[in-house]
Amino acid sequence: MPGIDRASLADVLKQAGALAMQGFDPGRTGSGWEKAPNQPVTESDIAVDRFLRDALGDLDPHAGWLSEESHARPAEGRGAGVWIVDPIDGTRDFIRGRPGWALSVAYCVDGQPQLGALYAPARAELWLAEAGSGAQRNGKTIIASRQEALIGARVPTAQLAKVDRALVAVDKPNSIALRMAMVAADEADLVATLRWGHAWDVAAALLIAQESGALCTDALGKAMDFKDSDAPIFGLLCSAKGIHQAARAHLESRAQTVLDSHPHGLSAAAMRRHEDSDRV
């Protein structure tokens, strides 16, 4: 990874976070528009995306680029890395003036994240991970939840379905990456979705969670691979290792129902309709 390390990546994220904060109004509703049905975006998303594309490109000029908010660019040369970016993950919380959003950046080689960073400037939280070197939040090593029983497992959600009442609801940021980071920091035990997503949703948080000791797969229990980084991903199951198998079994019938109904991915509108019903 020429010229890339956690310190240089952190510097870029802090600068980008300062740019995002210029458009964030805590406690007040901001403005945005829908780039597609139920897919909000703001001027800050675009500005941060542009900044990151340039700044990360300086760290590795040969790396490819995949972002939620701009056109992809292939990597130059065999074995070159790819930046996978969501400039503001949790845009709805950003617009609402809530702190549950973050900048998400992963550097992947051969489909696997080698560096991952989340920066939530409204929460003053910077998460960093490097493959094989653990994960940190604000410079302190984090260790994932060691929950052994599905009963009583903490889940970031606004409301639990009847079938999930044995679980415990905890605060839910809009950012899926931050929810995964909660598992990494032992502030939650389980995060699950049963809808189609993309690499930029999870790539950075996946490495952070894995390096902290959590286990993350798609909703069917399959390992995630970002070699075809633009391919949709079916769901997410990120949890303490001790409950992953039980959580997968708990979700299996619901996951299969969604997959049978939408085998090639949901439309944007359908994804939004499923958002409050697809999680444990």
d(CA 173, CA 193) in angstroms, rounded, equals: 14
Q: Are 66 and 72 in contact (CB under 8 A)?
A: yes
Return binding residues for Mg(2+): 68, 86, 88-89, 201
Q: Are 169 and 186 in contact (CB under 8 A)?
A: no
- In this structure, the number of other CB atoms found within 10 A of the CB of residue 36 comes to 10
CB-count burial class (<10 Å; 0-12, 13-18, 19+) for 164: buried
Which amino acid would we find at residue 223?
A
Structure tokens at 264: 């090639």
- Number of residues written out for the chain: 280
d(CA 117, CA 108) in angstroms, rounded, equals: 12
d(CA 144, CA 215) in angstroms, rounded, equals: 9
Give, as one character, the DSSP assignment of residue 69: S
Return binding residues: 68, 86, 88-89, 201
